[in-house]
């Protein structure tokens, strides 16, 4: 990324997960407990044609991730694209528990960057019943379906 001469003394580093790997939750979301369910979500798409999908599906023709109230849930997001995607979950806070397959006790949040050609696993307790959106927070990706 080029620097803005009046604003910075040097070029900025590319956006990556180096900070995410160092963040730790002050109060971890997850008390020790086994996972009840793990879901894998494959992020796919490309610049030409400009189309993005989760598990090969585009809104509104999607298969919901069915989760039962009270379950401890992990979602492994595997990015098969050359673009990083900030993935956002409504209705729950989650903890980052792995980056590119390496376990960690990461930050608690509702959005996390999934690196290009990489993966991030999150975990949460399904304690807020309802239908919750899960999408890339690059809103222009969501709108291209």
Query: Could you state, in order of their start, the residue ranges of all structural domains in the chain?
Result: 18-142
Residue 117 has pLDDT above 90, yes or no: yes
Confidence band of 27 (pLDDT split at 50, 70, 90)? confident
Mean pLDDT over 139-144 rounds to 62
> pTM of the entire structure?
0.86
Give the whole-angstrom CA distance, residue 109 versus residue 71.
Answer: 18
Mean pLDDT over 111-118 rounds to 95
Mean pLDDT over 24-48 rounds to 89
CATH number for the region 18-142 comes to: 2.60.40.420
Residue 4 has pLDDT above 70, yes or no: no
Picking from 24-33, 59-68, 78-87, 97-106, which range would have the lowest pLDDT averaged per residue? Answer: 24-33
**Considering the chain, what percentage of its residues have pLDDT values greater than 90?**
61
User: What pLDDT is recorded for position 140?
Assistant: 65
> Token digits for 93?
């806070």
Tell whether the torsion through CA atoms of 60, 65, 70 and 72 is positive or negative.
Answer: negative
């Amino acid at each position: 990324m080029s620097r803005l001469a009046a604003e910075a003394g040097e070029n900025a580093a590319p956006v990556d997960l180096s900070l995410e790997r160092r963040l730790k939750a002050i109060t971890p979301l997850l008390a020790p407990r086994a996972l009840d369910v793990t879901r894998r979500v494959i992020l796919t798409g490309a610049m030409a044609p400009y189309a993005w999908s989760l598990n090969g599906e585009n809104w509104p023709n999607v298969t919901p991730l069915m989760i039962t109230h009270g379950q401890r849930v992990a979602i492994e997001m595997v990015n098969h694209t050359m673009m990083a995607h900030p993935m956002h979950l409504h209705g729950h806070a989650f903890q980052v528990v792995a980056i590119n397959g390496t376990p960690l006790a990461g930050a608690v949040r509702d959005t996390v960057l999934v690196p290009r050609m990489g993966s991030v696993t999150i975990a949460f307790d399904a304690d807020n019943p309802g239908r919750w959106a899960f999408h890339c927070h690059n809103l222009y990706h969501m709108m291209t379906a």
